[in-house]
Amino acid sequence: MPYVLLLHGLNGSGPTHWQNWLAGELAHHGAQVDLPSFTEPDHPSLDVWLAELRSHLMAAPTTGERVVVAHSLGCLLWLHHAASDPDPALRFDRVLLVAPPSPTIDEPLIASFIPVPADVDGLRRAAGTTRLVAGEGDPYCTVAEAKLLAESLRIELDVVVGGGHLNVDAGYGPWSAVLKWVRSDRAPLTPR
């Protein structure tokens, strides 16, 4: 089992969110899991979150496969990290970006995360492979916007039909497809 770092979005991941479910499932199967709670999840600061992310990346094991699974604002955090020319020692093997907000979203609470960098080379330096998953009907990012983002980053995109924001409100507590993806990046990202 790989080491897995889970990056939450705005307001964190509540107890019934799929990220908490995933952390429990992975730990139950013997994986090392890190689900940090970033400072002030209701009023995030890019600089603070980036510093905290880097400390978690530095604390990650240096052997074995290393995987990041980010949700919502956590995706934008990862894109900013990748664009900051990270230390090669912080490189992870695989990254899954789940339901990122639109790069053009007008949301004052996440203003420090906008604009979103589309640094293809940085993304390749930050991780071996990166994949994006968007939910059809996501109020924070249309499928068309997700396609444009994936194209600009030159990464694969999975669209989950009827997935919404792929959060608890959309019915995503347990989500077996994301657990299967962590175990094998060839697993398709499908609805719960």
Strand order in the sheet with 33-34: 33-34, 3-7, 66-71, 92-98, 127-135, 156-160
pLDDT score for 191: 77
CATH for the 3-183 domain, from 3.40.50.300, 3.40.50.1820, 3.40.30.10, 3.30.565.10: 3.40.50.1820
Q: Which residue, 22, 24, 27, 31, is CA-closest to 1?
A: 31
pLDDT score for 189: 76
**How many angstroms separate the CA atoms of 20 and 35, rounded?**
8
pLDDT score for 1: 84
Sequential DSSP letters for 65-98: -EEEEEETHHHHHHHHHHHT---GGG-EEEEEEE
Query: pLDDT (tens digit, 0 to 9) for every residue of the chain, 192 residues total?
Result: 899 999 999 999 889 999 999 999 999 999 999 999 999 999 999 999 999 999 999 999 999 999 999 999 999 999 999 999 888 889 999 999 999 999 999 999 999 999 999 999 999 999 999 999 999 999 999 999 999 999 999 999 999 999 999 999 999 999 999 999 999 877 777 777
Domain regions of the chain by residue span: 3-183
The 8-class DSSP code of residue 131 comes to E
Q: How far, CA to CA in Å, does 11 sit from each of 5, 73, 183?
A: 18, 9, 27
pLDDT score for 119: 94
Strands 66-71 and 33-34, sheet pairing: unpaired
